[in-house]
Amino acid sequence: MVFQEKNESMVLDSLRNFLADQELALNGRLPPERVLCEELNVTRGKLRKALAVLEGEGQIWRHVGRGTFFGPRPINNLTDVEYLNAHSRPTEVIEARLAIEPQLAKLAAVHGNARNFAEMRRCIRMSRNAREWRVYESWDNNFHQAVAAATCNSLLISLFDTLNIVRRSTVWGQLRPTRLPPSDHKSFAEHDAIYEAVVGREPELAANLMRTHLKSVRDRTYAAMEV
């Protein structure tokens, strides 16, 4: 019996028995191929064929370097920002901002509280005081983040953070025409208007102002690139 050659279906059966008998550990991991094929007394090739069948049935899942596990394949737990950075083009980023940030402004006007408003005001003030582009950009960024925070929706805040990280890394290192942001920089007025609409609890107006703001940012960026 032990020395009998096993055909394909017999290997499958012994594998199923193995799975049924085994008190699998919490993680549901089963022995590596090289060990299992010795335990079941079959060649690695035959074992792999049987494992492939079980994987096709959705009974197990496998991953190079990790092992073979019982149960359905788990979904991706983490959104890798590095990957997004490498794969998203600038046009995608601005499109995504235009799609999402006006909605955030709208909800900020609905749910924002005094603390949120104070933070927005602080960002506006600090961006006006900025003496360098880098500093200005950092406070501009903080302002948009403050708007997201004012939605009081942790899920949306988190989604915006992801978007924001990608944005910053694609815009990073852009050349600036002047060392100082001009005092009549268009974004100043636009940020002010957005702030007023949010504090004034005018959701639709806030969304529209955010949309036009992002469009003008986009246009300026393109104009700078064409030169």
Partner DNA sequence: AATTTGACCAATTCATCTTTGGTTTAGTGG
Partner DNA sequence: CCACTAAACCAAAGATGAATTGGTCAAATT
Question: Interface residues with a copy of itself (CB under 8 A)?
Answer: 20, 26, 57-59, 70-72, 74-82, 84, 87-88, 92-93, 95-96, 99-100, 103-104, 106-107, 126, 132, 134-135, 138-139, 141-142, 145, 153-159, 161-163, 165-166, 168, 172-173
As measured in angstroms, the least distance from the Cβ of 20 to DNA is 19
> How many other C-beta atoms lie within 10 A of the C-beta of residue 95?
14
* Torsional class of 4: left (φ above 0), alpha (ψ -120 to 50), beta (otherwise): beta
In angstroms, the CA 223 to CA 80 distance is: 31
Amino acid letter, 213: H
The one of a copy of itself, DNA, none whose footprint includes residue 176, by CB under 5 to 8 A per kind, is: none
Residue 82 vs 219, nearer CB to DNA: 82
Angle (nearest 5°) at CA 188 between 160 and 167: 30
Residue 48 binding: pick among DNA, a copy of itself, none (C-beta 5-8 Å cut-off by kind): DNA
* 227 is an interface residue for DNA by CB under 7 A: no
**Tokens matching residue 67:** 């092992």
For residue 105, the SS3 value is helix
Q: Is 9 in the site for DNA (CB under 7 A)?
A: no
Helix 133-149 with 186-199: angle, nearest 10 deg: 20
Question: Which stretch of DSSP H or E encloses residue 129?
Answer: helix 114-129
Interaction between residue 87 and DNA (CB under 7 A): no
Residue 62 binding partner per list DNA, a copy of itself, none, with a CB distance cut-off of 5 to 8 Å that depends on partner kind: DNA
Cβ closest to DNA, residue 74 vs residue 173: 74
Tell me, rounded to whole angstroms, the distance of Cα 191 from its chain centroid: 26
Binding residue (CB under 7 A) for DNA from 23, 66, 154, 183: 66
**Cα–Cα separations (whole angstroms), residue 165 to 18, 87, 172:** 47, 13, 10
Residue of 48, 121, 128, 218 that binds DNA (CB under 7 A):
48
| 8 Å CB contact between 140 and 127 | yes
28 binds DNA (CB under 7 A): no
- Residue 56 within binding range of DNA, rule CB under 7 A: no
Of the residues 68, 116, 142, 145, which one makes contact with DNA according to CB under 7 A = 68
- Give contact residues for DNA (rule: CB under 7 A): 32-35, 43-46, 48, 51, 62-68
